[in-house]
Amino acid sequence: MKFLNICSFELSGHFASFRKPDVNKVYLTYNNPPYAAILGIFGSIIGLSGYSPKKKHDPEVLPQFYENLSGIWFSFRPVFSKRPIFLKQMVTYNNYHGYGSDAGCFQITEQILIKPSWEIFLFDEDGKHADLIENIKNKKTVFTPYLGKNEFRAEIGELKEFEATEITDKVATQKAMKFDSIVLLNRADKHPVEKKLSKGIGFANLDLESAYISEDGYSIFENYPYALDKTFHYKFCLSAFTNWEIDTSRLMNGTRTFRIKSNDDKEGKERVINMFNGGVG
């Protein structure tokens, strides 16, 4: 059996805001960092350039960090202390910058995440990004990473290493599995979680883009921006984070499933994660 090396680190901050593009009256945030935002953080760690105003509308030119890092496999897991969803707060402030409003002062209402934290999983399959892993290990960054806005500084935690094996046949034949990471899903009428709740309500009766938390467990679903198209707009899929089983036939095309075990875990506890890169979908 071939063992692979997957590593992880904690990404956290006092605040975060990953703006949704479909609402303008107020700025709402995603629960988790979009795919492009995570690549941007990776890029800042090793010094890759971001969006250029001169090239932003050129469909043939992607940001350097996106072009260089879109092949790396990764996933993440929200880290919670109590409830399995981050606290959110609405903040209203005045924007006096000329580029914020030609008329002068412009009032903005923005939703922010309070003390968010994620465990980010990385799989450098082709070995091209050793500099990224080395910088994370040494907690070194070329540029300052941030969580959606440059005033929301990101903190990089300790690097952990895992022994991993890829699960292929089992995913294809097994109807359901538990995952310890966010999972990207193909959309369908049937809900990916078939758990019956304590009150006898099936998930088929709940909104697919919702959160359900009870003594039985939790499931958080979101319309997740998993990639950028050539016009720099988000491409979306359904994402899930749950401690219940997921229907594996619903896993998004191109994603990969791994069983991982920490090199420092003497008890040998195994976890299952779903990973993706810029080629899924």
Whether the pLDDT of residue 43 is over 50: the answer is yes
Measure the CA–CA gap between 203 and 244, rounded to whole angstroms: 11
Of residues 39 and 267, the one with the higher pLDDT is: 39
Whether the pLDDT of residue 188 is over 80: the answer is: no
DSSP string, 163-177: EEEEE-HHHHH-SEE
Residue (of 270, 276, 277) closest to 3 by Cα position: 270
Instruction: Give the pLDDT of residue 217.
Output: 82
The pLDDT score that the predictor gives to residue 205 is 40
Q: Is the pLDDT of residue 229 over 80?
A: yes
Higher-confidence residue of 115 and 267: namely: 115
CA angle 166, 67, 272 (to 5 degrees): 20
Instruction: Give the C-alpha separation, 37 to 35, whole Å.
Output: 5
**Whole-Å CA distances, 66 to 12, 15, 271:** 21, 24, 29
Confidence of residue 135 (pLDDT cuts 50, 70, 90): very high
Token pair, residue 103, equals: 């008329």
What's the mean per-residue pLDDT of the chain? 84
Span 86-109, pLDDT tens digits: 999 999 988 766 554 556 677 889
Best CATH choice for the domain 4-275 from the list 3.10.450.230, 1.10.645.10, 2.60.120.580, 3.30.70.2660: 3.30.70.2660
